[in-house]
């Protein structure tokens, strides 16, 4: 999981999504629900290893401008915690709070033709 903090980095993530699915995780450093979702995301990445698609995260409080731009650009109402599956520059799926977990991520990726 790699942190992004700038609009230029977000543009690079969108460009990367042209080659395959990427995930953006919006994380609040002040929220225990977000901390739990962050842990689930990290565990899911560890299990998949190299099979995991790229995962980027945004600290929504510290990078509020970027977090807002992601919501506007992708047309996904902001929530935190939230994970957004992006492919070809478009949001194809998202989940928030308790909906963030390995089974949901695997199902979304499988259904949308991504890995795993």
Distance, in Å, from the CA atom of 23 to the CA atom of 64, rounded to the nearest integer, reads 18
What is the domain range of residue 19? 2-111
**pLDDT, position 22:** 96
**pLDDT, position 63:** 97
CATH of the domain at 75: 3.40.30.10
Q: How many domains does the chain have?
A: 1
Residues of the chain predicted below pLDDT 70: 113-116
- Per residue in 49-82, pLDDT (tens digit) is 999 999 999 999 999 999 999 999 999 999 999 9
Which tokens hold the place of 104? 């949901």
**pLDDT, position 116:** 54
3 state SS of 3: strand
Looking at every residue in the chain, the average pLDDT score rounds to 94
Would you say residue 100 lies in a domain?
A: yes
Would you say residue 116 lies in a domain?
A: no
Q: What is the pTM of this model?
A: 0.94
């Amino acid at each position: 999981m790699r942190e992004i903090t700038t609009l230029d980095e977000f543009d690079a993530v969108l460009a990367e999504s042209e080659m395959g699915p990427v995930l953006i995780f919006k994380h609040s450093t002040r929220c225990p629900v977000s901390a739990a979702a962050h842990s689930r995301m990290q565990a899911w990445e560890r299990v998949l290893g190299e099979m995991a698609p790229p995962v980027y995260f945004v600290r929504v409080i510290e990078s509020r401008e970027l977090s807002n731009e992601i919501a506007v650009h992708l047309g996904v109402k902001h929530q935190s915690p939230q994970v957004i599956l992006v492919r070809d520059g478009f949001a194809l799926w998202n989940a928030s709070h308790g909906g963030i977990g390995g089974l949901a991520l695997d199902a979304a990726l499988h259904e949308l033709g991504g890995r795993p």
